[in-house]
């Protein structure tokens, strides 16, 4: 009987934890504020993945710039290393717990290389 009680307690604790995490994600999304939407053309160099995904590009002057992005965006961009990419990104104010609260970040929402396009805005995937 003791084993059964432990199993049930673990199940309940796990369910509560997942419910709390889902609520936190929804709360964070509600706190997100889009400040601007911009476009730029740059050459895709690489992805850097840590707590979050970042895509690194080089501008015409070889200056490195990076943007936050999704794992799906990285998969799309990785097919085009060294190629020019038309990027649409948003400047967003959002809650980032690891940074201690609200932060202003730049997030890729759409990328186009030739006739290939990936969009977080419309859900269009290659």
Average pLDDT, integer, range 117-122? 86
Topology (CATH) of 32-119: OB fold (Dihydrolipoamide Acetyltransferase, E2P) (2.40.50)
What are the angstrom distances between the C-alpha of 95 and each of 14, 24, 105?
A: 25, 10, 10
Query: Can you tell me the distance from the alpha carbon of 97 to that of 34, in angstroms, rounded to the nearest whole number?
Result: 18
Instruction: Give the chain's mean pLDDT.
Output: 81
* Each residue's pLDDT tens digit, 46-105: 999 988 999 999 998 889 999 999 999 999 999 999 999 999 999 999 998 888 889 999
Domain ranges of the chain: 1-31, 32-119
Contact 111, 76 (CB under 8 A): yes
Query: Can you tell me the distance from the alpha carbon of 50 to that of 45, in angstroms, rounded to the nearest whole number?
Result: 17
Query: Can you tell me the distance from the alpha carbon of 72 to that of 69, in angstroms, rounded to the nearest whole number?
Result: 8
Query: Can you tell me the distance from the alpha carbon of 109 to that of 90, in angstroms, rounded to the nearest whole number?
Result: 7
Angle at 18 between CA 12 and CA 20, to 5 degrees: 100
Q: What is the DSSP string of 92-118?
A: EEEEEGGGTEEEEEEEEEEEEETTEEE
Whether the predicted pLDDT of 20 surpasses 50: no
- Which percentage of the chain shows pLDDT scores above 70? 73
Whether the predicted pLDDT of 40 surpasses 50: yes
Model confidence pTM above 0.85? no
Task: Average the pLDDT over each of 24-33, 60-69, 85-94, 117-126 and give the range with the smallest value.
Answer: 24-33
């Amino acid at each position: 009987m003791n084993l059964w009680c432990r199993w049930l307690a673990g199940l309940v604790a796990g369910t509560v934890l997942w419910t709390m995490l889902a609520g936190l994600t929804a709360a964070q999304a509600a706190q997100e504020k889009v400040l601007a939407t911009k476009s730029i053309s740059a050459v895709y160099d690489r992805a850097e993945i840590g707590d979050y995904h970042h895509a690194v590009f080089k501008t015409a002057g070889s200056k490195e710039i990076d943007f936050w992005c999704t794992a799906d965006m990285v998969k799309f961009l990785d097919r085009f290393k060294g190629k020019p990419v038309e990027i649409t990104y948003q400047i967003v104010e959002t809650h980032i717990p690891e940074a201690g609260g609200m932060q202003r970040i730049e997030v890729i929402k759409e990328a186009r290389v030739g006739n290939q396009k990936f969009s977080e805005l419309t859900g269009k995937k290659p």
